Amino acid sequence: EPEVTQTPSHQVTQMGQEVILRCVPISNHLYFYWYRQILGQKVEFLVSFYNNEISEKSEIFDDQFSVERPDGSNFTLKIRSTKLEDSAMYFCASSPGMNQPQHFGDGTRLSIL
C-alpha cells in the first residue's frame, strides 16, 4: 500500500538555524498538509496546500514558516530561524481529494537546542 514518507525521522538543530523537513506524499494525491504535536499536547494543524499554493494556515504558521512543492513529488516545510518552542513532532499528510481521509507519515521529531 502506498504511504507518505518523511525524512529525517529525527532532526536536532541549534536555535536560530534554518531547518527543512521533507515529505513525499502519495503520488496521486492532490492535497497536502503539515501538522505538529508538541510533547504532551494535541496534534495541531499548521498549513494546507493545494494547486501549488497555500489554502489555509493557522496562527502558528507565521513568517518563519514556509512550504514548497519544488519538484512535483516532494513537499517541504521550512522553518527559517528555529526557536526552542518549535521542538515537536511534525507530521506530513496527503489526501486524494477534498474531504477525503488524510494519510499521515511517521513524523519528524525536531529537537531545538
**Helix (H) and strand (E) counts in the chain:** 0, 11
CA-nearest of 34, 35, 25, 32 to 5 is: 25
How many binding residues for another protein (CB under 8 A)? 25
Contact 22, 74 (CB under 8 A): yes
Which residues, other chains included, contact 59 with Cβ-Cβ below 8 Å and sequence gap of 6+? none
CB of 6 to another protein, least distance (A): 8
The residue (of 35 and 75) whose beta carbon lies closer to another protein is 35
Q: Which stretch binds another protein (CB under 8 A): 19-27, 37-45, 67-75, 78-86?
A: 37-45
| Binding string, residues 71-110; x marks residues near another protein by CB under 8 A | --------------------x-x-x--xx-xxxxxxx---
- 15: which 3 cell numbers? 536555535
Q: Which is nearer to another protein, 4 or 77 (CB)?
A: 4
Q: Which of 7, 44, 65, 69 binds another protein (CB under 8 A)?
A: 44
Residues in CB range of 46: below 8 A, 6 or more apart: 33, 34, 35, 36, 57, 58, 60, 61, 65, 77, 90
Provide the binding-site residues for another protein, judged by CB under 8 A: 4, 6, 31, 33, 35, 42-45, 48, 50, 55-56, 91, 93, 95, 98-99, 101-107
